[in-house]
Amino acid sequence: MMRLPLTILLTLLCAAPARADQCIPREILYLHGPRNGSAVPPGVRFVLTLTTGCSALPPGSSRLRLLDPAGKTVALARTRWHGYTELRPPRSLKPGLHRLQRLPPGSKPGAWKTLTAVRVAGPADRSPPRLSGTLSVTVKKTRGSVYLSPCHAKEGSVLAWRARFAAAADDTTRAGELRHVLQRRRTASDPWQVVQYITAGAGTVQRRWTEDHGGWGGRWTFRLLARDLSGNTTAGPLSARVAAPDRR
């Protein structure tokens, strides 16, 4: 079943009057890494977030290509990892400068724009990021906005969560380009739920969020995942068990 963009759903649900300057969803592309000018190992993945929002671009999707040092196009496979899109070249990338380019919707043929240029060197990276220290997750009941629908809220009881941990470290991916995903589940037979997507620099990381549905009562097990730009992932070893307050 086709899913409508959130902005369209909110417009339909809230029945807001039409306006001449109303936002019409368009493609928004954000590059998480690698940074322009970086030295990267063969097989590095170009990590994007593709979403929709208010944009001056015309409708449609961007075209993306990777050029090798000779200006030839390199084949890219697409991989999804917890909401991120990874453009995956072969691990046999030639040493030298590679350019990831974008042709936005509505652009003239040949009007490619370089998103990032990286220099491939050294051996491929097959070592996962390192997580150390402890994962601390706390929760308390407080007052906040309880959403009855996307358009209507009232004051009521909410859960205020806080997670604290040391950012992962990696041999080839910079701290600000490592992706952390915080997950939780109630029992070992339940699937893991994504709670937070976190990209942070080195050192201690702290995230706060509130929740008005779904997290009340019982015990939750949290775990932290970390992934580098070569697609190596560490699941754990950091975990935490937390008892959530009842709604009453």
| The pLDDT of residue 146 | 65
Tokens of 60: 């449609």
- Interval 25-43 mean pLDDT: 90
Q: Are residues 116 and 140 in the same domain?
A: no
| The pLDDT of residue 55 | 67
Judge whether 15 lies within some domain.
no
Note the pLDDT tens digit of each residue in 96-145: 999 999 998 888 888 999 999 999 999 999 999 999 889 999 999 887 66
Note the pLDDT tens digit of each residue in 192-202: 999 999 888 88
Q: Are residues 72 and 143 in the same domain?
A: no
Q: Are residues 83 and 49 in the same domain?
A: yes
Judge whether 190 lies within some domain.
yes
Give the other-Cβ count within 10 Å of 179's Cβ.
Answer: 24
Per-position b or e across 6-38, b if 16+ CB within 10 A of its CB: eeeeebeeeeeeeeeeeeebbbebebbbbeeeb
CATH code assigned at 72:
2.60.40.10
Q: Which of 64, 92, 120 is the endpoint of a domain?
A: 120
- Cα 72–chain centre separation: 30
Write down the pTM of the prediction: 0.80
| The pLDDT of residue 150 | 56
Judge whether 68 lies within some domain.
yes
- Interval 143-168 mean pLDDT: 77
For the chain, how many structural domains are there in total? 2
Q: Are residues 158 and 98 in the same domain?
A: no
Domain span holding position 89: 6-10+22-120
Q: Are residues 234 and 143 in the same domain?
A: yes
Q: Which of 90, 120, 150 is the endpoint of a domain?
A: 120
Judge whether 167 lies within some domain.
yes
Q: Are residues 30 and 101 in the same domain?
A: yes
Q: Which of 92, 120, 148 is the endpoint of a domain?
A: 120
Cα(139)–Cα(150) distance, integer angstroms: 24
Give the other-Cβ count within 10 Å of 137's Cβ.
Answer: 21
Judge whether 239 lies within some domain.
yes
Judge whether 1 lies within some domain.
no
Judge whether 130 lies within some domain.
no
Q: Are residues 39 and 82 in the same domain?
A: yes
Judge whether 204 lies within some domain.
yes
Q: Are residues 112 and 142 in the same domain?
A: no
- Interval 21-28 mean pLDDT: 71
Q: Are residues 167 and 232 in the same domain?
A: yes
Cα(26)–Cα(70) distance, integer angstroms: 34
Q: Are residues 103 and 141 in the same domain?
A: no
| The pLDDT of residue 212 | 81
Cα(95)–Cα(51) distance, integer angstroms: 32
- Interval 164-191 mean pLDDT: 92
Could you tell me the pLDDT band of residue 176, with boundaries at 50, 70 and 90? confident
Q: Are residues 116 and 172 in the same domain?
A: no
Q: Are residues 163 and 73 in the same domain?
A: no
